[in-house]
Chain A
């Protein structure tokens, strides 16, 4: 796709350099002259946005490490000091913590775009797999970064996640001990997490280089999912996509800045402003929003090992996605059934995220009320029957006490209370988890065989120019 180089050294120095280290030629061919499909839409700007987000995290992270104290006695206070006393520390810290959320927001859009337009299909399997590797590294980095402020959520998040490994038979407990460096989450854990949190972004950077290399071999996919067949299908990356990417990035930075300046803590959990306490678990442990869907999958399976396997499996399945989808058509634009499966999939992921943030026993849907009938002795000595009802079992109990006080007598017979039909968060999570896996393991393999795709255009140029001509006529 890249074809012969079009780089022409502009000066004697550039000519001299080009013969020794052709770095200008590489940059010119990769980011200026690079032939890019002419029909990329704004969903394709998130690759650039993600590179930007990675640089922001690395730069702000290096600054924070200059003030952070990686010890259980100093960590919490040092983060507070950065927020309050260090010059512009509040800004750098807010950018770093909001930046993590922005990074994940962008990566989810980027991944769903790849899913919709079939960007994981041949010849881009390695490109997709490298992307999943980056995503995994991102999750590990984000998790370890969340531990560093050493608040309650940091501590208990670290405890819960490292305990996941103890579900592995036989070697699970030694692995957990090895990860923690002690019998509990402690100083050793915090120190190694700090070390690895500093390392992993550079590993991400390395895989990003491979990711871009793997992208530049076959070139970009595009919303039509049609291969580039002639130079008429492409435009040079600069200025067409440098400008498009820059505009999208500016809009993205607006959102970023809105959070940084107006709601820096809204994406975090207030419990993390309580210093870590190994004796008290917060009433609700929840991960950051971007990990909630996986947390919901973990809790959906009422078995420790099963839950852990399902959670890791939900990411593992992404690695084999290129071979699960049997359809010859890349873009879901031309796949009438798969595109609805995709829409539902996005909805399911959002719903799983919601479930992950709720208590597992909370009722999502309830028909009817809790009812309790009872008998009591009236002042006259007769036996009377009464009934109370309530929306929740706790409320029913309160009402029962209030009722007892009102009638001024003890209930002599309490019949078992009748519970209404309920769908709880955990049951909803189970249904959603089923669809999550069903989408990859059943829907995509089967749809490719039975679905009748729409008419795919022959070339990008034809489709784009026809659209333009139609628009011109109607205008």
Chain B
């Protein structure tokens, strides 16, 4: 009698040797609840991702007429600044000269790759279109500062050359290309 009572009791709490039906129900219920919690949590987390209207701000068209040789225009694309630089022959020459060093750069790239259009066509040497956010922590670098003739980031001291390649400082990557195409000789579309 006592023995059988003990057995029943052990069965009730689910002994390690023999899982009972009740164990199964407990596990199945908790698993269902966990999935339910996750299903409710996801919308609450995902709502913080960019909204559809934010994602839709995808492209912008810019006329190049107003940008004189040696000048730079900063335009907003997706809320972030983009440099459109009208490069001088000296800047182009400097960038091309350093192509020979590109293999030893942190983020190797040739000048021709840096001006390439988004559709894969070659760009025009005098037009450099780059995202103006330092790849370190997102500050806007300034031109004609730093040791490589290009941009310098005042926040943490990254130096970029006249093709926007990272040459010195903490930034891990070259200034990102802004995806652009020439719509005509004097108009580009970014995005």
Binding site for B on A (CB under 8 A): 156, 159-160, 162-164, 177-186, 188, 192, 278-285, 299, 301-305, 307, 360-361, 426
Report if B124 contacts A (CB, 8 A).
no
Q: A304-B136, A360-B156 are in contact. List 12 more A-B contacts (CB 8 A).
A: A177-B50, A178-B49, A180-B50, A181-B51, A181-B54, A192-B48, A278-B76, A281-B154, A282-B154, A285-B155, A299-B170, A302-B170
Distance, CA A219 to CA B169, complexed state (A): 50
For B55-80 the 0/1 string (1 means CB < 8 A from A) is 00000000000000000001010111
- Which of A156, A182, A305: most chain B CB closer than 10 A? A182
Chain B residues closer than 8 Å to A426, beta-carbon distance: 157
Nearest-CB distance from A422 to chain B (Å)? Answer: 15
Interface flags, B92-120, vs A, CB<8A=1, else 0: 00000000000000000000000000000
Determine, out of B4-12, B13-21, B28-36, B137-145, the stretch whose residues face the partner at the interface.
B137-145
CA distance A307 to B156 in the complex (A): 11
Q: A279 and B74 in contact (CB under 8 A), knowing A188-B50, A307-B170?
A: yes
Picked from B138, B142, B154, the residue with its CB within 8 Å of the CB of A284 is B154
Contact yes or no, A163 B54, CB < 8 A: no
CB-based contact A278/B79 at 8 Å: yes
The total of Cβ contacts below 8 Å across the A-B interface reads 86
Q: How far is the CB of B106 from chain A (nearest CB, A)?
A: 10
Q: Give chain B residues whose Cβ lies under 8 Å from the Cβ of A182.
A: 50-51, 54, 78-79
Is there an interface contact between B54 and A304, defined as CB atoms closer than 8 Å? no
Q: In the complex the two chains form, what is the Cα distance from A177 to B50 in whole Å?
A: 7
Residues of A within 8 A of B51 (CB): 181-182, 188
The answer for the CA separation of A160 and B156 in the assembled complex, in Å, is: 10
Return A233 CB to nearest CB of chain B, in Å. 46
Q: Which residues of A contact B45 (CB under 8 A)?
A: 178
When the two chains form their complex, are residues B48 and A160 in contact, meaning their CB atoms are under 8 A apart? no
Contact present for A285 and B79 (CB under 8 Å): no
B138 touches A159 (CB 8 A): yes
Task: Tell me which residues across on chain A come within 8 A of B172, comparing CB atoms.
Answer: 303-305
Is B123 an interface residue when CB atoms closer than 8 A count as contact? no
Q: How far is the CA of A305 from the CA of B136 in the complex (A)?
A: 10
Q: Are B155 and A177 in contact (CB under 8 A)?
A: no
Instruction: Output the nearest chain B residue to A303 by Cβ-Cβ distance.
Output: B170
Instruction: Pick 11 A–B contacts, CB within 8 A, sort by A.
Output: A156-B155, A159-B137, A181-B50, A182-B78, A183-B50, A184-B80, A186-B54, A186-B79, A279-B74, A281-B155, A303-B170
Query: A178 and B48: CB pair below 8 A?
Result: yes
CB of B130 within 8 Å of the partner chain: no
| A361 and B79 in contact, given A160-B138, A181-B48, A183-B54 (Cβ under 8 angstroms) | no
Does A177 lie within 8 Å of B49, measured CB to CB? yes
Instruction: Tell me whether B171 is interfacial, beta carbon within 8 Å.
Output: yes
Q: Which residues of A contact B149 (CB under 8 A)?
A: none
Question: How far apart are the CA atoms of A180 and B78 in the complex, in Å?
Answer: 13
Given A278-B79, A299-B156, A361-B157, do A181 and B138 touch, yes or no (CB 8 Å)?
Answer: no
- Tell me if B179 counts as interface (CB < 8 A to partner A): no
Measured in the bound complex, the distance between the Cα atoms of B137 and A172 in whole Å is: 12
Q: Is the CB of B154 within 8 A of A163?
A: no
* A221, B76: Cα distance in complex, Å: 57
A283–B139 alpha-carbon span in the complex (Å): 10
Report the nearest A residue to B171, measured CB to CB: A304
B107 to chain A, nearest CB (A): 12
Complex CA–CA separation, A361 to B155 (angstroms): 11
Measured CB to CB, the nearest residue on chain B to A308 is B137
A residues less than 8 Å from B169 (CB atoms)? 302
The 5 lowest CB-CB distance pairs between A and B, nearest first, are A184-B79, A183-B78, A163-B138, A163-B137, A281-B139
Docked CA distance A339–B137 (Å): 38
A181-B79 Cα distance, complex, nearest whole Å = 12
Q: In whole Å, how far is B149's beta carbon from the nearest beta carbon of chain A?
A: 16
| Closest residue of A by beta carbon distance from B136 | A304
Q: Given A278-B80, A304-B171, check contact A156 B139 (CB 8 Å).
A: yes
B34 to chain A, nearest CB (A): 22
**Cα-based distance from A310 to B149 in the complex (angstroms):** 31
